[in-house]
Amino acid sequence: MSRLRVEGALPHATDGVVEEREVDGEPGVFECAEGPMRHYRRTGDTVEFTLAIPFFAWLFTWPVKRELRRQLREGTASMPWWAPADRIDQRSATVLGALCGIAILDGFLGTAITQTLTYVADGFGVEGDGPQGVTLAAVRLAILIALPIVALADRRGRRQLLLVCTVAGVAFAVVTALTPSLLTYTIAQTGGRGFTTALSILAVVIAAEEMPAGARAFAASVTSMASALGAGFCVMALPLADIGDDGWRLVYLLPVLGLPIVRVAAKHLPESKRFVAVHDEKPHARRDRLWLLAAAAFFIQVFAAPANQLQNEFLRDERDFSAAAITLFTITTGTPAGLAVLAGGHLAEVRGRRFVGAVGLVGSTFFIVLTYLTSGPAMWFLYFCGAMLAGLTVPALRVYGPELFPTGLRAGTGGLLAIAGVAGAAAGVLAGGFLSDELGALGRAMAVLGIGPILVAILVVTKFPETAHRELEELNPEDLSEAS
């Protein structure tokens, strides 16, 4: 429990990050009417509170104290810059914290193959970029495992399947650590990627269904930051690959340490409130929206997948980086992008999804292409700029999937959009490898593939609807009519 003393606190109930109300029968004593609190009590100038945020309460305690101090002195009803535009309540805060805990594990599992594959190939004595490209493309077929899982979530619920997918992802990571060949490694990673892909889709769906209209992009930003934190842990574990030919196996054993996170998250994670509400179990498909978002997912991944998955190979072979140098490059240039993701969530609520998404796509593509065409300090700076702008697009565009489809189709269409992204990623990785060989350098190949996200930016500006501050039922009237 945290304590705060505010000299000159207002003698009446205030409204801001916490909406207060006077306790019945206790004049001058206030409790939380709405806000991210598990416990809140103000008596005079003294406030005692406990944030309803699993895992990350320590991170928000200081900014909440600072905002409460301002609120109780000024009586302001405005939300701070780091908070969502709409205040979240106890349940929303609890669900979001639990999802962020799981997202850390998801980020680690999803990043392992891109960080370790070059070392895996060396350990198995496989030479050349071709077999690695085939492995990366084959693993993308894991969406065929994820699709029935997320479709089942539209009938059976999100919570249980989310937890099952998390545990299964860890189990497949352990199996991966024990594989004797690149073929068995590919099979194990395909199975694991199927469950982690479903996990990522379901986490986005639950967050969208639990958050108020002005907090969905915020939820996307903080869960993305948590996933990036997990990816960062994976990057920091990469020097284990330098221990020897089998050092990479240790990276795949580390996710076992995250199982206690799943246990705690399960205690705090209820079934999605919109799933348990009455909704049409056989809603009409929104094919126009599906094709629009599928095209965007495809063309973004045509560029993003080779930019991410071939980066270590590029740094190692074309720039002579060691594993430790790759880790340093990734952390110093990519980690600050977490702040951009948070800013993108705020801007997407204030300025709208389309503006933020389009600017981020064009800017990040430009700088990342230049990264692959340069070397030395300029390469580090350009990638930093590209990563920061890419961070803006994450919350702005990530929420479109769950926002534009009704409850009975929300998870299943997330799987279909993932297929489009997988197809784009496979095409991008294969095209990146082919063009790199034909043009003589990966940077030239990335310049060609950069056309993809530029096309998406045009689609976002001209075809995407603006969804900021609109309830899901407003965007999907079939849910509203069925509930009524």
Task: For residue 68, tell me if it sits in a domain.
Answer: no
Task: For residue 18, tell me if it sits in a domain.
Answer: yes
* Residues 384, 457 within the same domain: yes
Name residue, tokens 């309803």. Answer: 52
Q: Which domain holds residue 6?
A: 2-51
* Residues 43, 97 within the same domain: no
pLDDT band at residue 420 under the 50/70/90 scheme: very high
Task: For residue 480, tell me if it sits in a domain.
Answer: no
Cα separation, 472 vs 208, whole angstroms: 8
**Residue 38 DSSP label:** E
Of residues 368, 89, 398, the one with CA closest to residue 222: 398
* Residues 21, 119 within the same domain: no
pLDDT for 404 equals: 92
Taking the model in full, what pTM does it have? 0.85
* Residues 186, 132 within the same domain: yes
* Residues 400, 302 within the same domain: yes
Cα separation, 464 vs 477, whole angstroms: 18
The alpha carbon of 452 is separated from its chain's Cα centroid by a whole number of angstroms, namely 21
Report whether pLDDT(284) > 70.
Answer: no
Report whether pLDDT(256) > 70.
Answer: yes
Cα separation, 12 vs 340, whole angstroms: 37
* Residues 45, 163 within the same domain: no
Q: Which of 272-276, 305-309, 376-380, 383-387 bottoms out in mean pLDDT, i.e. has the lowest?
A: 305-309
Q: How far apart are the first and last CA of the chain?
A: 41
* Residues 194, 314 within the same domain: yes
* Residues 156, 217 within the same domain: yes
Report whether pLDDT(335) > 80.
Answer: no
* Residues 106, 22 within the same domain: no
- Residue pair 263/378 in contact (Cβ under 8 Å)? The answer is no
* Residues 35, 175 within the same domain: no
DSSP string, 91-105: HHHHHHHHHHHHHHH
* Residues 41, 117 within the same domain: no
| CATH number of 186's domain | 1.20.1250.20
- Residue pair 337/390 in contact (Cβ under 8 Å)? The answer is yes
In sequence order, the 6+-apart residues with CB closer than 8 A to the CB of 458 are: none
Residue 285: strand, helix, or coil: coil
| pLDDT tens, position by position, 46-81 | 999 999 999 999 989 999 999 999 999 888 777 887
How many Cα atoms within 13 Å fall on the side-chain side of residue 64? 25
Name residue, tokens 């392992």. Answer: 112
| pLDDT tens, position by position, 189-222 | 999 999 999 999 999 999 999 999 889 999 998 9
* Residues 374, 246 within the same domain: yes
Structural domain count of the chain: 2
pLDDT for 281 equals: 56
DSSP string, 172-230: HHHHHHT-SSHHHHHHHHHHHHHHHHHHHHHHHHHHHHHS-GGGHHHHHHHHHHHHHHH
Task: For residue 115, tell me if it sits in a domain.
Answer: yes
Name residue, tokens 């594989």. Answer: 179
| pLDDT tens, position by position, 136-189 | 778 878 888 999 999 999 988 999 999 999 999 999 999 999 999 999 999 999
pLDDT for 483 equals: 47
Task: For residue 229, tell me if it sits in a domain.
Answer: yes
Q: Are strands 29-34 and 19-22 parallel, antiparallel or unpaired?
A: antiparallel
